[in-house]
Amino acid sequence: MSKKNKIYWLEGVTEKQVKSLLNDENSKFSWLRRQRNRRVLVLFMAMGIIGTALGSYYTGLKEELRLDGSAEIVWLTVAVLFILFAVLVGYSLLRIAVRGIADAPTELLDERQVRVRDTSYRYAYQISGYLLITLLLLYLFGPEISIFSDTANDGSYLLIATLFAYASLPSMVIAWRERDI
């Protein structure tokens, strides 16, 4: 085997990264690989993604929650910190929790891991379909619901949340479904 650290451009990973995650070199994160902890992480990620999407409706939400002055600053700070933590830190922890299987190239996985990876993409594809339907319903009927009627909404946070969901879903599916990783 070549000693050179091969780069897998399509998957966006290197051979060293994948092997490090697949082996127990990161044993300090073994607690994260317990199914219950993985599921908690998935729930935090989902809340972070939904929170990011709701950023597009901030003005409407602010009025609905009657936030003003210092209450708004506190609420906004807590919300932004939570979303940043859930989305950015959560994503890194999620990859460690599932040993990066969702992003690993076939040649570095064994046959069961390949099946786990491929099954996760099938579920992620189906869930993505439901997400698209939700976005379509929001687009069609959102303006008739008070908190979704923000005229200043340009949909940018919705787009960021959707892209992030697409990137995270296979790992989230693995983290939720698999008993042992």
Partner 1 sequence: MSRNPEEPVFNRIEEVRTAMGLSRQELADKVGVHYQTIGYLEREEYSPSLVLALRISKTLNQEASELFSLTSFKKGK
Binding region for partner 1 (CB under 8 A) = 22, 110-113, 179-181
Beta carbon nearer to partner 1, 116 or 169: 116
CB of 130 vs partner 1, minimal distance in Å: 24
CB of 26 vs partner 1, minimal distance in Å: 15
| Alpha carbon 29 to its chain's center | 19
Beta carbon nearer to partner 1, 83 or 181: 181
Beta carbon nearer to partner 1, 2 or 70: 2
CB of 174 vs partner 1, minimal distance in Å: 12
Whether 171 contacts 11, CB under 8 Å? no
Q: In this structure, what token pair is assigned to residue 129?
A: 């379909």
Tokens 């082996």 correspond to: 23
Beta carbon nearer to partner 1, 24 or 72: 24
Beta carbon nearer to partner 1, 111 or 144: 111
CB-based burial, 12-31: b 16+ in 10 Å, e otherwise = ebebebbeebbeeeeeeeee
Whether 160 contacts 50, CB under 8 Å? no
Element (H, E) at 8: strand 7-8
Around Cβ 123, how many Cβ atoms within 10 Å?
16
CB of 1 vs partner 1, minimal distance in Å: 12
Task: Determine the Cα–Cα distance for residues 63 and 147; give it in Å rounded to an integer.
Answer: 8
